[in-house]
Structure 1
Amino acid sequence: MIDKTAIIYPGASIDVSTDIGPYTVVKSGGRIGKNNKIASHVVIDGNTEIGDNNTIFQFASIGSAPQDLKYKGENTKLVIGNNNIIREYVTMNPGTVTGNGITVVGNHNLFMMHVHIAHDCMIGNHAVLANNATLAGHIEIQDYAILGGLCAIHQFVRIGESALIAGGSMVVQDIPPYTIASGDRARIYGINRIGLKRRGFTKEEIETIKNAFKILYRSKVTVKIAAEKIVQEMGGQDKVKKFVDFVLNSKRGITR
């Protein structure tokens, strides 16, 4: 159903199974898939593609122009996957030509109230961003990451798989997978043991990650030497490989 007060611009594409609430606006670049539930007073702007089975609550702003003074109206894109929950007042911006030209949101994510996803961000799957978590441009959030309320993430930072960022943290460098970070400026405090258990990691896998963490953070050697030592001692395991690859590919440097 599309409410009679909704405004659907010519050129917008909406699957017949999707519900559109009162006073919602879908502009001509909107392409919306199956079984979405879009509440009242939502604005879907720009070149925005929304997949299937998403729930978008009232007052969300999806696809409006990036908050970047270099943006001059170029036809960049926002792509949202499937089964996401987007709560009240969430803002998501498309990419820019100085970045990837696209902002991508994966599947099964929860974005609580007032979350901001800036231009050229890449969000994986099963992530949770709590109230008022704010991403600057060009940020990567990997699968199963959790950002607490009132977090702020600096541009170009990467948050690794299953990392946990405590509420109120200010993050200026990369957070490796499986770790816990907190503070202003954020520091690493250990591995996200509870989160890994909930994901079904075995005791052996968690112990291996813990040992890799100790080598990187407590052996008082350079990141490169620590990574080499981790590979030598336990490099054949997939979880460890993700950890090491993330660290070695860091451009901003990892949070210490």
Structure 2
Amino acid sequence: MSMIATSASIHPMAVVEDGAVIGENVKIGPFCHVGPHVVLGDNVELLAHAVVTGRTTIGKGTRIFPMAVIGGDPQSVHHGGEETTLSVGDNCTIREGVTMNTGTADFGGKTIVGNNNLFLANSHVAHDCRVGNHVIMSNNVMLAGHVVIEDRVILGGGSAVHQFTRVGRQAFVGGLSAVSYDVIPYGMLNGNPGLLGGLNVVGMTRAGVDRATIHVVRRAYKAIFEGGGSARDNAAAIREEYADCEQVMHILDFIAAESDRALSSPTRGAKG
């Protein structure tokens, strides 16, 4: 049996299947389809023709625009119909044609999207992804399976992120870029193949990082990518020196963490 709050507004031409849970003040427009295992939090709004299916939970205040399909099966040959899930956080904006898939059983079965994110038209979040908070995915951005996007990342239009790749907090990825390797926190990556081109100073400034700290992070960046050893060895070597800088420690911890992908750099993948 469905649990539908009395304050919810459901257009008579929408389909809400038996078993769905609909919170307070939810608005469901015409020709929407809500599946039987869906939970819509308070103040969620589905505009006309939006589809929410699968074992999907949508957080309070999220808006889903026409032709979005949220909670579809993973696009993976390994998916055998298992009951995997998608969780979308609070106050997200999911624009026209966006697709988000549930997870796959072999990798925990969960796709997780955080709060206050903006997904522009036709962007895609694949199975088993982890998307943080305050993320912006521009039009036609594609995340392959198992991608990790940390907080406050901005992905430019048409960019594509390879499976199992990580993009660190507050990084910026330029439009049409191919992200084949991990991108450090606060990094700026552009091109195909994507090359690390320095730090996202504009983003850091907007986030309230002071100029003196930005200079410290710049020095650490040069030590990591212009030092005599590998980037990972250089990062390990400067850890003690920069222990009192939170932003540098974010970068060093990111580099030290285990990953299935190599690290983006100013030269890795460069042509010529």
**TM-score tier after normalising by the smaller chain length:** over 0.9
Asked if residue 145 in structure 1 is aligned to residue 153 in structure 2, the reply is yes
Which shows bigger deviation, 212-221 or 76-85? 212-221
Distance 1:48 1:232 in 2: 44
Letter in 1 for 2:231: V
Letter in 1 for 2:189: A
Residue of structure 1 in register with 2:178 after alignment: 170
Which shows bigger deviation, 22-31 or 216-225? 216-225
Q: C-alpha deviations, 1:9-63, integer Å up to 9, x for none? A: 0000001311000010001010000011110101111000011001111110000
Asked if residue 191 in structure 1 is aligned to residue 199 in structure 2, the reply is yes
* Identical residues among aligned pairs (%): 38
Distance 1:228 1:102 in 2: 32
Asked if residue 136 in structure 1 is aligned to residue 123 in structure 2, the reply is no
Cα contact 1:174–1:250 (8 A) shared by 2: no
**Shift of residue 250 of structure 1?**
4.5
Of 100, 105, 124, which residue of structure 1 is paired with 2:132?
124
Residue of structure 1 in register with 2:3 after alignment: none
Unaligned residue ranges in structure 2 (runs of 5+): 1-8, 266-272
Q: C-alpha deviations, 1:162-196, integer Å up to 9, x for none? A: 10000000111100000100111101000000010
Letter in 2 for 1:233: E
Instruction: List, as ranges, runs of 4+ consecutive aligned residues in structure 1 with deviation greater than 6 Å.
Output: none
Matches within 5 A, 1:67-216: 67-216=75-224
Cα contact 2:32–2:51 (8 A) shared by 1: yes
Residue of structure 1 in register with 2:45 after alignment: 37
Letter in 2 for 1:20: I
Distance 1:211 1:100 in 2: 39
**Shift of residue 79 of structure 1?**
0.2
**Shift of residue 225 of structure 1?**
2.4
Distance 1:47 1:67 in 2: 16
Distance 2:204 2:180 in 1: 24
**Shift of residue 234 of structure 1?**
1.1
**Shift of residue 240 of structure 1?**
1.4
Of 256, 263, 269, which residue of structure 2 is paired with 1:254?
263
Residue of structure 2 in register with 1:58 after alignment: 66
SS in 2 for 1:98: helix
**Shift of residue 236 of structure 1?**
2.5
What do you get for the CA RMSD once the two structures are aligned? 0.9
**Shift of residue 220 of structure 1?**
3.3
TM-score, structure 1 as length reference: 0.98
**Shift of residue 98 of structure 1?**
1.4
Cα contact 2:224–2:232 (8 A) shared by 1: no
SS in 2 for 1:107: coil
TM-score, structure 2 as length reference: 0.92
